[in-house]
Structure 1
Amino acid sequence: MPYPKNAHFGLLLALFIGCLGNSWAQTLNAPTPADNPNLPGNSPWSAACASASFNEYFMDFSWSTPLVNSNNEFILELSDATGDFSSATELAKVSDDNLDLAVSFSFAVPNTVRGSGYKFRVRSTSPAITGPETAAFNVYFMDFTSSILISEDASGVIPPGGELQICDGNAVTIGAHNVPNADTYTYRWTRSGTVLAETGPSITVSQTGMYMVEIDYGPVCSGSANTLSNSITVTNGSTIGIAINPPANTALCSGETQVLEANVSGQGLSYTWKKDGTTVAGPTVDAHTYTVDASNTGFAGDYTVEISGAGACREESAAVTITNTGDFDISLNQGTQLSLLPGDSVNLGVTTTAASPTYQWYRNNIIITGATNANFDATQAGDYFVRVGTSGGACASATKDSEVMTVSLPASFDITIAYNGNFTNCVSSDATLEISLIEAVDGSGTPSDVTSQMQSQFSYQWQKDGVNVAGATNATHTVSDAADNGDYRVVATLDSFTPQSNTLGVALGSGQTLTITATSTVLCEGGDAITLSTDTALGGKTFGWFRDGTQVDASSPNYSPTEPGTYTLRITEDSCTVDSNEVVITNFDDSQVTLDSDTNVVILEGSSQTVTASGADSYAWFNSANEQISNGPSVTLSLEGDYRMVATSGSCTVTRNLTVSFRDTFGIPNVITANGDGLNDQWILPNSYANDPDVTVIIYNHLGDEVLNQNDYQNDWPSSSTAFPKQNMVFYYTIKNTTETLKKGTITVIR
């Protein structure tokens, strides 16, 4: 029978052959520059010259029907500087104007864009269509829009009169010194109006002329950026041959001076004096001399002079080396903070590089009579230093003072004890305690480390929990029995000093292993109770059962969990805790028991099918008479009827019901006679498709309207109340499951 010809026929074809489509689609045009409505005048832009003070541009875009989808977005995109869109930049998006065939975009130029080859295009998202590209545009974000300042070597010092000299075939380097991140730009250098090939932030020149530079923002935007620099005129000059006249003395003693003099003077030149390459004077006109003063710290070094001026080449002299003949070093043989015990002495000493040194010791800035050696034994508290002189060499009168060494009588002592080696509470089997630090504390509360000097001078008594430990009188003490766990300290004695140390706790581990077991690890409703227990005797001990780290019981040696979780047992003994292994209890998941077939089994009469279960410990299969027909994981079924499988996992059981029916041998009817005579009045499907909740039956009338959409079809269409206004009406059906279409066809209803 031919398909009906009407306005809905396309829908029917789409349902059954799935291939209806449009013969034409939307056309997107290339965007065009548009006038900025926020500015006076009415002219589209031809180049985008953006900056921090202005960055607003518009583009118009048009397209043709059919209409795009309601969720469509039009996106304006920008290429890279070569016109490539493989990594396009999204400039603007319009998502609320899908009915107008003309769209306007407003966009800002990204601050990383600089070039003359940028292109634009528009693409839609629903449907996904990419429009044509525009021609190339000059698009620049001009983030530097000030006048460039140039100077020699980009030093920031613009030469007087803006003039530099080059001499004897040499060259001079000119560079921009006020442009941040100067290397990120392209530059346009000119010499007397002629554009040069160099494009970097600096240029090395050997030709005379007037040099200027600006940032190259392309042929359109460069002028509006106003970056044109100051000018520097390079001229030819002559070398003078600058030098420093040989000084009378280059080896100075402390307090001496030496005048350095340039060999050229009186020509109005500027002089810059340098020491070790760093300017120390100038540039100053006619300052052809410089005085080196040996009274100044660090005066020794290499001195040069540089000259510059009109008609003269900038040149620098060879270096003259000035040395400090009277300089020498003094090193202390000990620290600067020392403690002195009553009745004792402390040796102070220095080492020096002075030639034929002399020594004089001072205490509190007063000379110590007779203390003229490199070492001195101090028996009094005070501030000590030694003045070292030279009795030979070129600077016989030079002297130098050492660092100050402070000798203090302690007001008290502090003693600190620590564990010797690695010690872990409740794990280690022994612990050795030792004196780790002895500090002498002066009257101002300042401590000094005197451990190496004083440890052997004290006598010691170790205490546990404030009580003396018999025989524990050494500088170290070892605890090796858990029965001796406690808090330890030491009391030290020296003359009238009896400092007490800090306290350290010692808790030795018992080495005990705690193990718990469970009668089962799976909880199920109606199943046997689970019992957690241990072989360790818990009588008289502090203990607790924990679920997921939270204590749930502290009284019973055995515990019956009623919730899933991770269970442990903890014993506390001698201030230490011992944790057991973990036992994980889970709820029984009956979904883990599965069948390898549907619960509705359809077979051909005279054949059989084997059904296999998995996920449990044991299985029992029963027929409708409750007779056991298998006790293994599989059963072979050949008769129609209802069956039951009971799976057991531990004390948990799961039941699965199956129905076996014979497969119908008739096909899907395409004609029914809905005349109420009881014969072929309804559309009867084979068992493969009927009475199955996973199968959907859909019936359409000749207009493409659904008249039935039903899962678990019961072979009951049409109902007795369904009216058919015409003879021999044709309906269309689709039968499908969750993943595919199983059958399609027509039904002719005759009445």
Structure 2
Amino acid sequence: MSSVRIKWLASIWICVGLQVVMAQDCSDPAPLCFVQFNNITVDSTGNGPLMADLNCANPAMNGTLYQITTIAPGDFQILLENIQCDTAGNQLGDGLILTVYDSADPCNPGPASIIACEMVSDQITLDLTAATADQNFYVAIYGDMEAGDSGPADCGYELQTSGEAVEFALTVPSVQYEILLGQSVDIEGVTGVEEYLWSGSGQITEDTMANPTITPNGIGEFTYQVMGTQGDCEVTEEVTILVQPNIIPADVITPNGDGINDEWYVLFLDERFDRADVRIFDRWGQVVYKSIGYGVTQLWDGTNNGNRLPAGAYYYVIDLKTSESGEGPVFTGAVNVIY
């Protein structure tokens, strides 16, 4: 079984989460996978679970809590922006409180573990530094209440993190592979995360490898998905493989002018293989026909430079030139000229 490798252009994707979160159990923080789009809400009385004053001593108990796990030592940033609060008659707070801490116990951080605690109504960027990989930081977002407010506002926001200590990217091929039935594709260049899992029909060798070999099990377009995992964050991308049928050369031509089999036909050898090198030889190894591509205007009619060839066996070599190296797969065989 042959393999085909095709060049590709890389695309980079990041892990994006979409969720609506109320106050939660601080023992189960949500992973912050670069970007979260959330909405803080309260109940109709304004006494919802997110109602809080500037409570930096124990922020996790009354807000939405995220966990950031670093992948390397170094700097990173936390950005809270696009805050849109629905306030009513100044009875609701009009912003959010952002608290960051690095306690070993997210439910009881204690004042000493607080890195930042800010009231935010527009946007804020915090610059942080991780000492090691696998270091946990916790980010609590909860409603801002001031004197006279009956509850925190209903606020939408965007929270994201970036920087060398936290970023990862799943790099995958971004072009379609094209092979013949029975061939395989050696995936190359998939990188960026700790764990991989491929899925799709046919045979996938080592589906937990970054770059497996894939053999589809039919003709047509096949889509394969790779899921990359980094800590608690997941990102997926797809690879498409188009499987064409193998070419089928005729083994006889009868160029007698009756309009039946007067030319040599090769089934499925068409404009898709416009680089194909087609050559036909006589029994002494002399080339009697050659072409690049084999379209309807290039069909061999049993002649050599316009001269009718004698009946007998002739031998073809067809190089489709679809591989990355520009050579192969190659098909050989005999075609008989009969008058």
Q: How does the TM-score come out when normalised to structure 1?
A: 0.18
Q: How does the TM-score come out when normalised to structure 2?
A: 0.34
Larger relative contact order (Cα-Cα within 8 Å, sequence gap ≥ 6) = 2
Max Rg structure: 1
